[in-house]
């Protein structure tokens, strides 16, 4: 059932076609789908047979402004290719906006099967120069922007489960190496993205009872955000004269599409994707330690813990 009254927030439509592909017949909401990785998700999901809510406020990379044309343009691309899509400019970090984008999928196609949380902004500054609004706005868009639509989608899936339906739903979250490994100048963004990874893992635990799988994607791809990240612009630039582009966002979109399939057998996983490389990221885990019967003296800890950290082999993957 819809969580609120029907909403119509842009272009909606459907084009007759034979529905085939790994996501045939599934209904997906994709946030931040007007550009970059989100756009790649929307196009790939539609190509795989999904019906897609293309959600994007059209905000600038720093969260300012707004352009309804971003979501509508991607929706038009999907329709032109014979897919089914509806545009949404709801702010998914807003309580009512996140509810409305879920309702839009339900009101248009009668159900929701997949939520891809992808919307994000950047306000990169050294910590000593970071203002409160820079922190609050980035955490709001990324972390609250994951929480709110996931919460309303979970309400929908719980209701279907309680009505006796065998639910096979999926949530795909978007984290970053900045959150999982750290990156100077991104304390706000990194903290939010670390929170997203934890949120995904806990959703996996809580929502499994309703037939919902929650997994997390860490994409290393060329977007306006990575192009604006310190030191990344030249790294992610499109290669000249090379057929294979490892920074093409479609590589991440293909993995997201698999994580959105009804047959995806696992939940609670996080994957780093760059080009053709897909790697499982391990969550926080206990490493090597020191132990004794009784308390440690401070000077003893200075020697023991210093050696322990020095011996730790920390491998940082390609930035994203």
The residues that are catalytic are 176, 189, 193
In angstroms, the Cα distances linking 272 to 18, 87, 175, 216, 320 are 33, 29, 9, 9, 9
d(CA 215, CA 219) in angstroms, rounded, equals 13
Burial class of 214 by CB neighbour count within 10 A (0 to 12, 13 to 18, 19+): buried
User: Residue 73 and residue 66: Cα distance in Å, rounded?
Assistant: 14
């Amino acid at each position: 059932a819809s969580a609120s009254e029907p909403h119509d927030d842009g272009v909606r439509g459907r084009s007759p076609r034979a529905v085939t592909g790994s996501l045939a017949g599934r209904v997906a909401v994709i946030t931040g789908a007007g550009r970059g990785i989100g756009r790649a998700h929307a196009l790939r999901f539609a190509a795989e047979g999904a019906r897609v809510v293309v959600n994007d406020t059209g905000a600038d990379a720093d969260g300012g402004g707004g352009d309804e044309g971003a979501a509508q343009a991607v929706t038009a691309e999907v329709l032109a290719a014979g897919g089914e899509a509806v545009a949404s400019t709801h702010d998914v970090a807003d309580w009512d906006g996140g509810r409305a984008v879920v309702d839009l999928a339900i009101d248009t196609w009668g159900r929701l099967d997949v939520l891809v949380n992808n919307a994000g902004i950047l306000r990169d500054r050294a910590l000593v120069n970071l203002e409160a609004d820079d922190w609050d706005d980035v955490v709001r868009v990324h972390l609250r922007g994951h929480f709110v639509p996931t919460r309303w989608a979970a309400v929908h899936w719980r209701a279907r489960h309680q009505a006796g339906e065998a639910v096979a739903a999926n949530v795909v979250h978007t984290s970053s190496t900045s959150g999982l490994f750290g990156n100077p100048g991104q304390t706000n963004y990194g903290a939010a993205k670390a929170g997203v990874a934890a949120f995904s893992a806990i959703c996996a635990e809580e929502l499994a009872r309703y037939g919902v799988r929650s997994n997390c994607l860490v994409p290393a791809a060329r977007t306006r955000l990575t192009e604006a990240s310190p030191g990344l612009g030249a790294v992610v630039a499109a290669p000249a004269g090379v057929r294979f582009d490892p920074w093409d966002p479609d590589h991440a979109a293909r993995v997201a599409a698999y994580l959105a399939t009804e047959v995806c057998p696992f939940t609670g996983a996080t994957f780093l994707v760059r080009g053709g490389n897909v790697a499982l990221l391990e969550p926080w885990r206990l490493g090597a330690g020191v132990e004794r019967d009784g308390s440690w003296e401070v000077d003893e800890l200075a020697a023991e813990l210093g050696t322990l950290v020095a011996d730790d082999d920390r491998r940082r993957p390609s930035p994203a």
